[in-house]
Chains A and B, each alone.
Chain A
Amino acid sequence: MGAGTDSLEVEGIRFSYGGARGFALDGVGFTVPAGGLTALLGVNGAGKSTLLAVLTGLFRPTAGEVRVCGRSLRREPLAALAAMGVVFQQPTLDLDLSVRQNLAYAAGLRGMAGRDAGPRIDALLERFGLADRAGAKVRLLNGGHRRRVELARALLHRPRLLVLDEPTVGLDLPSRRALLEHVHALCREDGVAALWATHLFDEVAPGDRAVVIDRGRVVAEGPVEGLVERAGADSLEQAFRALTGRAAA
């Protein structure tokens, strides 16, 4: 799949947790093209995490369709999941296993053979500057390193779509910048499509796309420069305020 095509297509997603709270997601639709970063912007409680749980098959929507590289998550869930790598908001590494053991476990879950997984793990550890930490227990790593391990883990099977749920939570500024740079490089060099959920405007760079979500609905979608211009604003933050009536979280 080359640049210009959509790695993720989301149409009319509705989801409710039940009870009287109404829809947590109400008709959400947008696309994520290959070879670029799309930021999913919204304040806490806007529906970002719920949406990502639907996109990764953890929750099943009551209506709508999700397609990953053309594969329907409803009809071909395993094929859709196989094309996707996920970095969760919550850290999900096994703290008592080493970096390499964590990656080998994930590779096994993805059905990768040991002879393919070994070199792939080495290459990713090298790429993210973790080669000298391969044998270290994850418990001994700092937050920035752990996030890089999770990013490496999400990339083991060479996914075409990378989904990241507020991946910089708890990281210091240099680690945040480094992680963002890594993901931009992946989009640029490998043609990966990235969906990056955040409420931090400084994580969105010129040239990225943005999907603004508020109260379970998409209120704007498109290249960042275009969004700012259409809202008649000077910055993305101003545009966000104009679109949602909210300040940044």
Chain B
Amino acid sequence: MSALLYGRALKAVVWREVLRFTGQRGRFVAALVRPLVWLLVFAAGFRAALGVSVQPPYETYITYETYIVPGLLAMVLLFNGMQSSLSMVYDREMGSMRLLLVSPVRREFLLAAKLLAGAAVGILQCFAFLAVAALTGIEVPPAGWLAVVPALLLAGLMLGALGMVLSSTVRQLENFAGVMNFVIFPTFFLSSALYPLWKMRESSEILWTICAANPFTHAVELIRFALYGQVGWEALGWVSLATLVFLGLSFWAYNPAKGLMARKAGAGEG
């Protein structure tokens, strides 16, 4: 009976997230246009400047466009994770978070369900992007389309959990622009999304160290290997670890007794 109850709650959370997403066409278009601009404009300009040599998982020389596809997939998930966390802040400000928190289902389960729902929406966006990229001639091995799903799911959960931790620290919707500047851009640029790490190392050892420690780098590499039907074991380990840490932090942050939510609630009316 209890498993049934949890199954229904999970279904409700995912269903609402998908309904909200399909109702927001602008969000879908933005999610698609953003990586395409990078792929078609940025990559065209930088193709000549940034030659990429043969490196795993690639078996031959590849174009720059091909190199940045996994990074752009991870970017789609990063923006989607932040968008989901933005909706958590919105839900909290609008009060719909309360509805979630007073339902007779364990809070951790609801947070995990919300993460899963967000990751599902992110995967939909990733496939839309891959389809358009394929139309422009950037090909991924057919098996890669399937093999990448678990990698996208795990990376989506990690970035969603990161977003959830951030959402618990942001009190107002207005402050979210700061998160965009201070989290999304450094996360994206200090990673292997746009350039291989060995190239970064040639310019700065410190920047390389930061890039190598960035969980986003590992998410990109996990997706990169999966697209070619391989498992990046090191990346898998780091992404799993980071997911658990962010998940633990978000459970803590949304715990009524200990977390940030209880402390911040003080300003509320009597």
Query: A residues engaging B (CB < 8 A)?
Result: 17-19, 21, 24, 42-50, 53, 56-60, 77-79, 81-82, 84, 86, 88, 90-94, 96-97, 101, 104-113
Q: Which residues of the partner chain A approach B266 to less than 8 Å between Cβ atoms?
A: 17-19, 21
Contacts of B102 in A (CB 8 A): 56-58, 81, 84, 86
Taking the closest CB of chain B, its distance from the CB of A41, in whole angstroms, is 12
Return chain A residues, CB-CB under 8 Å to B270: 24, 42-50
Q: How far is the CA of A125 from the CA of B82 in the complex (A)?
A: 36
Q: A59-B262, A92-B98 are in contact. Are A79 and B11 (CB under 8 A)?
A: no
Nearest CB in chain B to that of A47: its residue: B270
Cβ-based interface call for B265 (8 A): yes
**Quick check: B105 and A111 within 8 Å, CB to CB?**
yes
Stretch of B2-10, B152-160, B221-229, B243-251 on the interface side: B2-10
A78 to B9, CA, bound (A): 13
Give the size of the chain B interface in residues (CB under 8 angstroms).
36
The yes or no answer to B268 lying at the interface (CB within 8 A) is: yes
Taken together as a complex, chains A and B put the C-alpha atoms of A19 and B265 apart, in Å, by: 13
> Which of B5, B9, B24, B104 interacts with A79 by CB under 8 Å?
B104
Q: Which one of B14-22, B178-186, B191-199, B206-214 is at the interface?
A: B14-22
What residue of chain B has the Cβ atom nearest to residue A91's Cβ?
B95
The answer to whether the Cβ of B106 comes within 8 Å of any Cβ in the partner chain is yes
B4's nearest neighbour on chain A, judged by CB, is A111
The B contact surface, by secondary structure, is: helix
Interchain CB contact (< 8 A) of B15 among A56, A58, A92, A108: A108
- B8 near A113: Cβ-Cβ < 8 Å: yes
Interface centre among A17, A107, A111 (most CB of B within 10 A): A111
Task: Return chain B residues, CB-CB under 8 Å to A93.
Answer: 96
Which of chain B's residues have a CB closer than 8 A to the CB of A84?
102
> Is B55 among interface residues, defined by CB-CB distance under 8 A?
no
Q: Are B19 and A97 in contact (CB under 8 A)?
A: yes
Chain A nearest CB from B243 CB (Å) reads 24
Docked Cα-Cα span, A219 to B45, in Å, equals: 73
CB B96 to nearest CB in A, in angstroms, measures: 5
Given that A47-B270, A78-B105 are contacting pairs, would A111 and B6 also be in contact in the complex, using a CB cutoff of 8 Å?
yes
Asked if A109 meets B19 with Cβ closer than 8 Å, knowing A17-B266, A60-B262, A78-B106, the reply is no
A101 to B265, CA, bound (A): 29
Chain A residues with Cβ under 8 A from B20's Cβ? 94, 96-97
CB <8 Å contact, B12 and A94: no
Cβ distance B169 to chain A, nearest Cβ, rounded Å: 17
A13 to chain B, nearest CB (A): 14
Contact A59 B103 (CB under 8 A): no
- Chain B's nearest CB lies how many Å from the CB of A18? 6
Residues of B within 8 A of A110 (CB): 9, 103-104
29 A-B residue pairings within 8 Å (CB atoms)? A18-B263, A24-B270, A42-B270, A56-B98, A57-B256, A58-B98, A58-B101, A58-B256, A58-B265, A77-B104, A84-B102, A86-B98, A88-B99, A90-B94, A92-B94, A92-B95, A92-B99, A94-B16, A94-B20, A96-B20, A97-B16, A105-B12, A105-B15, A106-B99, A108-B12, A108-B13, A109-B100, A109-B103, A111-B5
